[in-house]
Structure 1
Amino acid sequence: MKTIFIIASMVMVLSLLALGFSCAQPTPAPAPAPAPAPAPKPAPAPAPKPAPAPKPAPAPAPVVPSNLAVGTKFMPSTTYTIGVAVVKVISKHVEGVTAHAASYATDSYFADGFAKGLIHLGIGTSHTTVMQVHGLDKWKGHGSAPMRLIATGPPYFLGVLANPNSGINTPADLKGKKWMVIRPGSVLLRDVADATLHGYGLTKDNVNVMEHSSSAEFVAAMKEGRVDAMGWPYTKAAPWVEELATQGKVAFVSDAPEALAKITEAYPMFSVMTLPAGTYKGQDKDQTTYGILQTLDVHADLPADLVYAITAALYDNFEEWSGYHADIKDFALPGAIDAGKIGIPVHDGAIQYYKEKGLWTAEHEARQKALLEKVKALGPYKPLT
């Protein structure tokens, strides 16, 4: 029995050994595949170009009025008469339009009138027009009024008129004297007083600057010797100056060149001008001083061809136009566009006419460029009211 067990055990062991050698050896596990290289990062796509900004819509063509309003001062006045003359010439000689006069108490209303389309042309003065277009005085901070020049007209002299016995030979001699020049409410006469004092280094502390309320008051004061000098705008044919000159009660005092340079630099609304000798009785010398000019202005946005037609109508028919009032003769060319007296830019339509007549020079062009740069820097006009 024991022998049988041993034999059986040996048989089992041999069987197991045979089985182990008959089985295939296991294949070694393959080496792990290398980690794949990271995919290259794609280059960032270029930022899309912004779409071009749409072109601004063209400005609408200005509406050309068929009935032009010509701003003037109160009726009756010289400027009203001149304005009516402009109306008549335009209505007769400019095809497709008529005109009418629009009367205002003062040309200080013109800037707002132009801006609001209430007037299209105006008979003003260089004093007010320059302040409105260049943003001076009460128009400071309101931009530039939309006004352009066609022509300048009659001069208004603003020099010192002295009592012949006052000892005043130059405005510097006003020191310690009585000068009747201020009229309450008059911006022009305020500026006249300030400009003359500035030109000669004087002040209201050393000049007795007096007020007046009417021409009758200062004429009487001059006749009676109660003042040493007076100030009021005067033309080449002012009746009250003729009255004083006829009685030997007025002396025409000239300004020094260096003083005029200071005055016109500080007060660009004033221009140097000369009252010729012999204009008034007893005036044996030219009076060189400063003053203002009447102006014919036009809306800056009126089409050039229309303004050209207006300018041509006035000057091609100048004899007819000037026949309405003697002062219109001072609008005659070429003096009406003296480059040294142009205070605001000239309208392109008027320039076209002057170029055709050979009156527009390099000096005019330089002046025009300088004026346009100044007014464009001020921006659009914002009405006072």
Structure 2
Amino acid sequence: MRQLSQSLALIALPLSLLSAGVTQAAEVELPRTMAWTAYGTNSSGYAQAVAIGNMLQNHYGTSVRILPGDNDVSRMTPLKQGRVDLCACGIASYYGAEGVMMFAHPDWGPQPIRVLTTSTASFGLSLAVAGDLGVETPADLAGKRIAYIRGDDALNKGTEAYLAFGGLTWDDVERVDYPGYARSFDGIIAGDVDASFTTTVTPPAQQLASSPRGVSWPVLDPDDAEGWERMLAVAPYFQPHEVTAGAGDVSADNPVPSASYPYPIVVANQDLDDKVAYGLIKALQDNYDDYKDAAPGAVGYALEYQDLTWVLPFHDAVVEYYKEIGEWTDEMQAHQDSLIERQELLLETWNAFIEDAPSDEEAFRDAWMQARATALRDAGFDPVFE
């Protein structure tokens, strides 16, 4: 993940974009109500959003309304339309900023997304496999029935990355389509499918572990250089991770060598009010002890787990907060500036492309991806997606 981050070019962005009110702020100022989108009600991301919402209500009188969504479209559309303040999203937020996959569509394009905070804790992001199959590594998934979640590029890309680690593609397994994430786990328990991508701590994985089939997590050997090269070629935001929390018998005493990336990724549009962005990150850090044990994975919001040079830019007011507490470096600022330049370039390229774009959806996508890659390369950036 850091390897991808370091591949991006570095420039400078004027700090005058920060409002004077935020620069001088010392107290949390939050609205009386906020609306978030999150994963479904049985997900760890939803549970974390509830825990944070309870903290905000108890300390600041802010009521948080959480709208669950079964797929990326239902989670990110309200953010795009300005109907919610934040999205406790998955890696689809990165796809949105890049304008790829489901976002390579006339209704979307690159999104001006900014990170508020992320959670990276003891859990992993992996394929939950029925425990009665004897699967030990991704290579063992050959010929198995693998869930494909319609409208959820993030989960499907994660599955594709795990298959790639084992030298497999979708052509080497039996794809079984589901309309939503939770339904795929019902399918595993019922014996209709064998694996689905998730976090290791999510409630559906716990339910699978308690079922007659049980659960297993494929091992990713950290020394398998070729396997990691294949995986990162598909999804460069992954990184090796020793998982110490998960359904089944995963624990600190019985860790699983696996992979992870931040989940949830709490994002907003770039025009989210500075006071709201600043107040939220300060509230999350000041009151960390009040919610860190209230939901699986919530420990991952600690300052020590924040990757400040990842693949998405932070909101300007969040940057200001990190500066105030002495956690922001010149290297981080240069990286932030590079990400914003990349995003601005993508938006400019999209606006020019859309004026005379093909009407056919497939032709539109192909032409956009080519225009996108050309613009990024010409500016010295790695397109990452082709």
- Residue 73 of structure 1 is matched in structure 2 by 38
**CA shift for structure 1 position 152:** 0.8
- Return the letter of the residue paired with 2:311: G
- Residue 108 of structure 1 is matched in structure 2 by 73
What does 1:243-282 correspond to in 2, within 5 Å? 244=209, 249-255=214-220, 256-268=224-236, 270-276=238-244, 280-281=248-249
Q: Is the 8 A contact 2:110 2:347 kept in 1?
A: yes
User: d(CA) in 1 for partners of 2:210 and 2:311?
Assistant: 32
Deviation track 1:79-117 (CA, whole Å, cap 9, x = no partner) reads: 4554455455556656xx955425253553454433443
User: d(CA) in 1 for partners of 2:73 and 2:101?
Assistant: 11
Give me the TM-score of the superposition, normalised by structure 2. 0.64
User: d(CA) in 2 for partners of 1:73 and 1:165?
Assistant: 31
| Residue number among 155, 159, 163 corresponding to 1:197 in the alignment | 163
**CA shift for structure 1 position 164:** 6.5
- Return the letter of the residue paired with 1:131: Y
User: d(CA) in 2 for partners of 1:77 and 1:161?
Assistant: 15
Change (3 A) 1:82 1:265: same
Q: Is the 8 A contact 1:158 1:231 kept in 2?
A: no
Q: Is the 8 A contact 1:218 1:230 kept in 2?
A: yes
Matched, 1:128 2:97: no
- Residue 370 of structure 2 is matched in structure 1 by none
What is the SS of the residue equivalent to 2:264? strand
Matched, 1:178 2:117: no
- Residue 311 of structure 2 is matched in structure 1 by 343
Change (3 A) 1:370 1:258: farther
Change (3 A) 1:107 1:344: same
User: d(CA) in 1 for partners of 2:195 and 2:266?
Assistant: 29
Matched, 1:308 2:273: no
User: d(CA) in 1 for partners of 2:324 and 2:289?
Assistant: 20
Q: Is the 8 A contact 2:322 2:328 kept in 1?
A: yes
Q: Is the 8 A contact 2:42 2:203 kept in 1?
A: no
Q: Is the 8 A contact 2:30 2:275 kept in 1?
A: no
**CA shift for structure 1 position 290:** 4.1
Unpaired runs of 5+ residues, structure 2, are 1-16, 20-28, 355-386
User: d(CA) in 2 for partners of 1:104 and 1:70?
Assistant: 11
| Residue number among 264, 289, 300 corresponding to 2:259 in the alignment | 289
**CA shift for structure 1 position 149:** 0.7
Give me the TM-score of the superposition, normalised by structure 1. 0.64
Unpaired runs of 5+ residues, structure 1, are 1-58
What is the SS of the residue equivalent to 1:159? strand
Count of residue pairs brought into register by the alignment: 314
Q: Is the 8 A contact 2:76 2:87 kept in 1?
A: no
Is the helix fraction higher in 1 or 2?
2
Change (3 A) 1:184 1:131: closer
Change (3 A) 1:193 1:361: same
What is the SS of the residue equivalent to 1:103? strand
Matched, 1:377 2:342: no
Rg (Cα) greater in structure: 1
